[in-house]
Chain A
Amino acid sequence: MRSFVERSLHRLDYMAVIPDRGWIDRVPGAPQRFQMLPGAAAFLEEAACERPVVLHGIGLSICSAEIFDEEYARNLAGWADRLNSPWISDHLSFSRVGTGHEVNAAITLPVPYDREVLDLLIPRVRFFTGTPGRAFLLENNVYYFRYPGQDFTEEEFLNALCRRSGCGVLLDLHNLYTNSVNHGFSATDYLNNLDLAHVSEIHIAGGVSMMGFHTDSHTGPVLEAVWRLLEYTVPLAKNLRGVTFEFHESSFGLLGESGILEQIDRARSIVNRLGASANAVSHVAGNISAGPC
């Protein structure tokens, strides 16, 4: 995988990575808690000399009511400084709970879109949005159950969060597709309700069926329905900076190098053909995702 990325970096406009895969995280509060693996650090620093490297975290769990891990946040921001990353992103979800002894859900769980959660998030987002020149994005999460009686829809929640906190949206179109199929709503209506001016990055991916649900497995090529959503969204997202093809490393053999590059080239052609933003750069793969993301 790494050799593929090294060989193909020139075909990419930026590279999105899950930095958590490249460090050892001892427990919160431990001395020298984070240890970046030398191979990963060297790889990222070399890549950052050639292309922008953006960081897509999986460990912040920003929606955990009992935990806001400032050590983790500082480490993430420190790596963004070191790599000169134009933006950082994480998920609008939680996986970490507990005080003192933490438990992890081993999957990202959605939060109810309530005022209480919105108020919880705003100061946390501001931790990241204070750095000039570097955006902080939150990704619409995939969810397999729905909370009854929420104060807001997801679109309303994201619009309010962006307006009040200054964060942007990482719009995962495969997550949106997955949710719309599993819960029977119109993805296009969702896009019409979301303020797409807040969207800085788009994720596209493939997935598989399991137990009667479509799942966000990041395996295989991008679904045709997701390509159609991309074509719909790109002209409307005036501040779009990039489109990222996400794939799980286990699907590397399934797609092959040429298959991965085909996805990127197709996404690039859509942005070039339909993109509204003069600043829009096109896309990259290399988002090697680990399970719960």
Chain B
Amino acid sequence: MSLGTFQRALVDLTLAPRKARALRDGDESALADYPLTGRERDRILDIVRQPGMSVNCSLARGNRFEVIAETFPMTCVLLEPVLRELLDELWQDYLPANYQLTGEETAFAAIVRRKTAAGELPIEYLDEIFAYEVACREMTQRMRIQPGPDAMIEAAVEFQHSPDELLPPLSRLTAPPAGLPRGSYPARVILRGERFEVEILPAPGTSARHSTG
């Protein structure tokens, strides 16, 4: 089906800006896998030379990132110096498979998990904030399918730095201060409706405190 092939070529180029740029610059090998009619080929070559193609590519990346940033906002703040390269690497292999873009966050979590395990992301606070947001994501997914406005879900998370110091700036999408003292901060994360609370579990002889989520 030629129109289908044409549409596939256009989608692939939208999701691979480098490929679109190479084609624009004359490397027609990018079209080798698409049996196109002459008219369709001419159209693709015309389109990649239009500035609007770059806008399309950027908007597609923005839409994909929006899904990730909604789920892992704090992780993205901490990853900011390497985020662009990380997303390039992720999206080189992973293509969105549905209109809800639901796989984006899973694929992002997988690459962060793999790289942190390999020691490739030596970023202060990343491990514990990522673990916290993974827990929040799982709770949110459970809450979405759980009826009742008064539903409550809990999860345990272990911080290595004080959540009181980490979470308030990150919830405003700013980096926390560097060099916070390490320690053990077991916490209970509670989701009530759409609101998260973090209860820092008491050290011996003290009572629990609430932080923001």
Chain A interface (Cβ < 8 Å from any Cβ of B): 20, 24-25, 27, 35, 37-39, 42, 58-59, 61, 64-66, 94-99, 101-107, 109, 112, 116-117, 120, 143-149, 182, 210-213, 215, 291-292
Contacts and interface: CB of A to CB of B under 8 A. Distances in A.
23 contacts: A25-B98, A27-B97, A27-B98, A35-B145, A39-B149, A58-B99, A59-B100, A66-B1, A66-B7, A103-B11, A106-B14, A106-B64, A106-B96, A143-B52, A144-B53, A145-B53, A146-B52, A147-B43, A211-B55, A213-B51, A213-B52, A291-B63, A292-B63
Contacts of B42: 148-149
Contacts of A146: 50, 52
Contacts of A106: 14-15, 60-61, 63-64, 96, 101
Nearest to B97: A102
A112 B62 CA distance: 24
The 3 closest A-B pairs by CB, nearest first: A144-B52, A291-B63, A65-B4
Given A145-B53, A213-B55, A103 B12 contact: yes
Nearest to B50: A145
Nearest to A25: B100
Interface in B139-193: 144-149
Contacts of B145: 24, 35, 37-38
Contacts of A25: 98-100, 102
A35 B145 CA distance: 9
B56 A109 contact: yes
A102 B103 CA distance: 12
Nearest to A142: B59
A163 B96 CA distance: 35
Interface of B: 1, 3-4, 6-8, 10-12, 14-15, 39, 42-43, 46-47, 50-56, 58-64, 66, 95-102, 144-149
B141 to A, nearest CB: 9
A144 to B, nearest CB: 3
A112 B146 CA distance: 44
Contact of A109 (B14, B62, B146): B14
Contact of A120 (B3, B43, B63, B149): B3
A216 B82 CA distance: 29
B58 A210 contact: yes
Most buried by A among B14, B46, B47, B59: B59
A39 B144 contact: yes
Contacts of A103: 8, 11-12, 15, 95-97
Nearest to A112: B43
A291 to B, nearest CB: 4
Contacts of B46: 147-148
A111 B56 CA distance: 14
A97 B8 contact: yes
Contacts of A182: 52
B197 to A, nearest CB: 19
B3 A215 contact: no
Most buried by A among B43, B63, B144: B63
